[in-house]
A and B are shown apart, each in its own frame.
Chain A
């Protein structure tokens, strides 16, 4: 494929990607979060149609207007978020969409036989084709997904982080299958954050950054790690981060000690002083969001404590966290933060309703006035307080969520991906806003997949990998390179 461009309203997810995959090779895709890997996969799978550029298949130009078109060509995709139907059996899932039928009746026993053969080929004959997918473990689901791709007789199989849920033994099993199918001439596009896997299974590497190809065709076995990381880092967009003032010494405002949740993360401890920003860096799945949600009480901690200003916060209770002065701007703005069909005013007042209650009656004038003031001070556009929040752009929606916690007057603010889906200009405004908050003595925790953002905003940085803290240090002493190194290799370089 050459010069593929994919634009979404407001963002350009892919801005020119070149990639060629040869028969029988394992082509690895590398890139940071948001580099455009997922979008690229979806373009290849026919989910998204590119706005520009061409895709060639065996020498002929093709258009993949819908997923079936891609499947017909022989492209099978194993998505990161598994796309299996839980209520159906293993065999039904494997053949979903291309059921073998005779006179319109599905051939159940034949399907089960073939499913069993495919699973055996993957070395997992213990999975029963008749079992319901909803009852299987994550790893088994991955195998089923793989069997599904094989059942399509695909010539190109795209695997998006297939090893994320597998243990070492299962990974080597997976690699054995990959080698087997590539020997038969099938091509594989393999996406993983684990460099050692790429070294082991990959033939060539393509690095994406900001939706573009940085370099392609690198040798997977011999290219030095430093060079790969260099290609992945140094994003083209430089944000302007406001200067960081000195953090006054003294008692910390937020203290997190030994926080853990079984199966999600463990041993997280850190302090945040008034006016300080602490950043949590890490890849998706490293437990970052889980940590802040647990601090906020949205998840109940199994170990450890959270204290604000020396007072213990009752675990597992959002109202307790809120009344202790903690606020959270969650990762998924639309599904977790905003009531999209409700007005800006009611979204802003949502956490402070008690303040506007006069014997149960809502003081709507007071509510509107406060909302008006906040919208103006945060420069939310368009500004109408009665406007539905769904009509705002990402950046302005984020400001509305921030306004909610400003109105509440919270002293500890947890920001999970504060600039995701936010355009360039609004980003700078949000950065400035965070600085304004810290100037007022608010303690801020920032989670972001974008390492430069974490480094630019924070005074101190915690690097999370494999569900625990790998490194803690001053932001000024780290750079993108070093952080990525810690994440990929598991230790500080």
Chain B
């Protein structure tokens, strides 16, 4: 054996065996190996650790957009009415995105949200449903939409969790099937809602705030609590972060996965009610490309596409950024092609900013 062989009986830089009492380490034991991250330093890290800090990149992006809006469009942008318009426009996709946050946190994806919104809106506005609603109460239409959304989510969930079909494939199938079914039911017609009370209720305002915005706020708050403050949320993050570890800790991974898709299906049902109120119609073209808008909002919001980590606040900010962007562009009379380019740039910029911030936070 050559002379240059190092002495290897002990791991370099690590602690010596100390008789198993378990107490004998000094703080240097966190030394070399895998555990490289030092403790958080001071006040800045404390700030960055808060919900605002975690989303600092998004907040900065949104503030920049608002500044651009004020400079270029002045009072037309900076008016309460415009602010409410932005919120109202963001509310429908916002509800879907909050639901999508859960599915993505749980390690899945759902491409069928737009189609589920369309199917729910169509089902809730058929002649039969509307007749029933006229005889009883418009709440029938709401329940119909929620039920259809929930059942679609259940089908997705069962196929993915128990049928072991990849989420991408299962929901792609649902995307095609649900929109097709919506077209069949509606006979490709736009179904006008006759019930004025329904329109008045959901189109109205409470204390000056549109009901749709209030609904969005409720969904966001409930979503935040569910994800951050309940065992349901904790299980969601666990199955998304490491499904095998979750399974071996006794969590019913399949059941939890199914719940997530049902949850998102119901969110789609709520969104369908909202879009029915906004457009006074139910049609198979509702919710077109919602899957992309929702996934984009969730991902720029900072939720990991691979699952295990997610933020409802980030998702809401992501939705607001996109909605504000469209608004600022329209106020400045810019065309849709330019908007599309800016949307792409914003996605990249927000994600880069977000990465920078999280890197500063963890190193």
- Complex contact flag A–B (Cβ < 8 Å): yes
Interface segment among B33-41, B127-135, B337-345: the answer is: B33-41
Q: Chain A residues with Cβ under 8 A from B32's Cβ?
A: 9-10
Contacting pair B33 A10 (CB below 8 A): yes
Known: A10-B34, A236-B9. A53 touches B2 (CB 8 A): yes
Interface segment among B143-151, B239-247, B285-293: the answer is: B239-247
Contact of B34 among A12, A349, A392 (CB under 8 A): A392
Interface string of B105-136 (1 = CB under 8 A from A): 00000000000000000000000000000000
Contacting pair B5 A52 (CB below 8 A): yes
Contacting pair A210 B8 (CB below 8 A): yes
Identify the closest chain B residue to A339 (Cβ).
Answer: B241
How far, in Å, is B230 (CB) from chain A's closest CB?
5
A384 is an interface residue with CB less than 8 A from chain B = yes
Contact of A429 among B7, B22, B244 (CB under 8 A): B22
How far, in Å, is B243 (CB) from chain A's closest CB?
10
Contacting pair B234 A318 (CB below 8 A): no
Contact of B231 among A240, A353, A378 (CB under 8 A): A353
Which residues in window 51-107 of B have CB below 8 A to A? none
Contact of A350 among B2, B10, B16, B249 (CB under 8 A): B249
Contacting pair B34 A9 (CB below 8 A): yes
Identify the closest chain A residue to B309 (Cβ).
Answer: A341
In the complex, what distance in Å separates the CA atom of A361 from the CA atom of B299?
Answer: 26
Identify the closest chain B residue to A52 (Cβ).
Answer: B4
In the complex, what distance in Å separates the CA atom of A5 from the CA atom of B5?
Answer: 7
Task: Tally chain B residues at the interface, Cβ within 8 Å.
Answer: 59
Interface string of A421-434 (1 = CB under 8 A from B): 00111011101110
Interface segment among B23-31, B173-181, B189-197, B347-355: the answer is: B23-31
Interface segment among A160-168, A328-336, A437-445, A464-472: the answer is: A328-336
Contacting pair A382 B39 (CB below 8 A): yes
B308 is an interface residue with CB less than 8 A from chain A = yes
Interface string of A313-334 (1 = CB under 8 A from B): 0000011011100001010000
Interface string of B296-324 (1 = CB under 8 A from A): 00000000100011000000000000000
Contact of A15 among B5, B14, B25, B252 (CB under 8 A): B5
B167 is an interface residue with CB less than 8 A from chain A = no
Q: Chain B residues with Cβ under 8 A from A340's Cβ?
A: 241-242
In the complex, what distance in Å separates the CA atom of A214 from the CA atom of B1?
Answer: 10
Known: A10-B34, A52-B6. A346 touches B27 (CB 8 A): no
B260 is an interface residue with CB less than 8 A from chain A = no
Contacting pair B6 A10 (CB below 8 A): no
Contacting pair B1 A18 (CB below 8 A): yes
How far, in Å, is B167 (CB) from chain A's closest CB?
19
A212 is an interface residue with CB less than 8 A from chain B = yes
Q: Chain B residues with Cβ under 8 A from A53's Cβ?
A: 2, 4-5
B18 is an interface residue with CB less than 8 A from chain A = yes
A351 is an interface residue with CB less than 8 A from chain B = yes
In the complex, what distance in Å separates the CA atom of A212 from the CA atom of B241?
Answer: 38
B238 is an interface residue with CB less than 8 A from chain A = yes
Contacting pair B12 A7 (CB below 8 A): yes
Contacting pair B37 A388 (CB below 8 A): yes
Interface of B is mostly: loop
Which residues in window 155-195 of A have CB below 8 A to B? none
In the complex, what distance in Å separates the CA atom of A318 from the CA atom of B252?
Answer: 8
Q: Chain B residues with Cβ under 8 A from A237's Cβ?
A: 9
In the complex, what distance in Å separates the CA atom of A318 from the CA atom of B254?
Answer: 12
Known: A12-B8, A431-B20. A362 touches B230 (CB 8 A): yes
Q: Chain A residues with Cβ under 8 A from B237's Cβ?
A: 339, 342, 346
Interface string of A369-388 (1 = CB under 8 A from B): 00000000011011010011
How far, in Å, is A423 (CB) from chain B's closest CB?
5
B233 is an interface residue with CB less than 8 A from chain A = yes
In the complex, what distance in Å separates the CA atom of A12 from the CA atom of B8?
Answer: 7
Contact of B30 among A5, A213, A236, A393 (CB under 8 A): A393
B11 is an interface residue with CB less than 8 A from chain A = yes
In the complex, what distance in Å separates the CA atom of A53 from the CA atom of B14?
Answer: 23
Identify the closest chain B residue to A13 (Cβ).
Answer: B8
In the complex, what distance in Å separates the CA atom of A425 from the CA atom of B17?
Answer: 4
Contacting pair A330 B33 (CB below 8 A): no
Contacting pair B15 A425 (CB below 8 A): yes
Choose among B22, B36, B362 the residue with the greatest number of A CB atoms under 10 Å from its CB: B22
Contacting pair B21 A387 (CB below 8 A): no
Choose among A10, A212, A239, A354 the residue with the greatest number of B CB atoms under 10 Å from its CB: A10
Known: A350-B238, A353-B234, A387-B37. A3 touches B1 (CB 8 A): yes
In the complex, what distance in Å separates the CA atom of A391 from the CA atom of B252?
Answer: 27
B19 is an interface residue with CB less than 8 A from chain A = yes
Q: Chain B residues with Cβ under 8 A from A11's Cβ?
A: 11, 33
A211 is an interface residue with CB less than 8 A from chain B = yes
Contacting pair A393 B25 (CB below 8 A): no
Q: Chain A residues with Cβ under 8 A from B30's Cβ?
A: 381-382, 393
Identify the closest chain A residue to B28 (Cβ).
Answer: A381
How far, in Å, is B251 (CB) from chain A's closest CB?
7
Contacting pair B36 A319 (CB below 8 A): no
Contacting pair B248 A379 (CB below 8 A): no
Identify the closest chain B residue to A405 (Cβ).
Answer: B249
Contact of B22 among A328, A382, A432 (CB under 8 A): A432
Contacting pair A392 B248 (CB below 8 A): no
Known: A353-B231, A379-B25. A428 touches B20 (CB 8 A): yes
In the complex, what distance in Å separates the CA atom of A394 from the CA atom of B14?
Answer: 12
A135 is an interface residue with CB less than 8 A from chain B = no
In the complex, what distance in Å separates the CA atom of A425 from the CA atom of B16?
Answer: 6
Q: Chain A residues with Cβ under 8 A from B251's Cβ?
A: 319, 350-351, 353
A250 is an interface residue with CB less than 8 A from chain B = no
> Could you give 17 example pairs across A and B, Cβ below 8 Å?
A15-B6, A53-B2, A212-B5, A298-B248, A319-B251, A336-B244, A336-B245, A341-B308, A342-B308, A350-B238, A353-B251, A360-B230, A361-B231, A362-B234, A381-B29, A388-B37, A425-B14
* Known pairs A52-B6, A362-B230, A425-B18 / 13 extra A-B pairs, C-beta < 8 Å: A9-B33, A18-B1, A211-B8, A212-B5, A240-B20, A338-B245, A340-B242, A346-B234, A362-B234, A388-B37, A390-B34, A396-B35, A424-B11
